[in-house]
Amino acid sequence: MSKVQLNKTIPDVEIHLTGDKKVRLSDYLGKILVLYFYPKASTPGCTQEGLDFRDAIARFRRQSTVILGASRDSLKAQENFKAKQGFPFDLASDPEETLCKAFDVIKEKNMYGRKVLGIERSTFLIDGKGVLRQEWRKVKVKGHVEEVLEAVKALKK
């Protein structure tokens, strides 16, 4: 499977979402899609990032934008995370890393002195035609959602 590239159409990957829904990325054509990847459900940074997207959801919806979060967590872990935090958007469960590999977010990281493979916090802005318009890699949570919202607004102009 090819990896995503700026200003190119994204691969049409099938994803498994909370609510036990199976969809394809092509199902979001006609809407702007913000797809954000986080390392692990219910951890502090990932929770804060999700809460920031949750708190800004009305502003994203005014821009006809769909938010999807994704990690390698099981569907059950994603369901629990979504319910506990009250996220008004779906989370994708990607334990086989199909979506993660298509967006090239699996990177070698240092965990307590050990090298492990994990998700590098990343966000992708995809336009209504399924074209990747912007990407953020090695995301720092603070202020990130505002930056993404501004990019969505700029894309709409």
Catalytic positions: 46
Please say whether the beta carbons of 102 and 87 come within 8 A. no
User: Measuring CA to CA, how many Å separate 58 from each of 67, 78, 88, 103?
Assistant: 11, 22, 10, 26
Alpha helix locations (H) across 36-143? 44-55, 57-62, 75-85, 98-102
Q: Which of 34, 37, 9 is nearest to 94 (CA)?
A: 37
CA dihedral 88→121→80→24, nearest 10 degrees, is: 60
In the beta sheet, which residues pair with residue 17?
21, 92
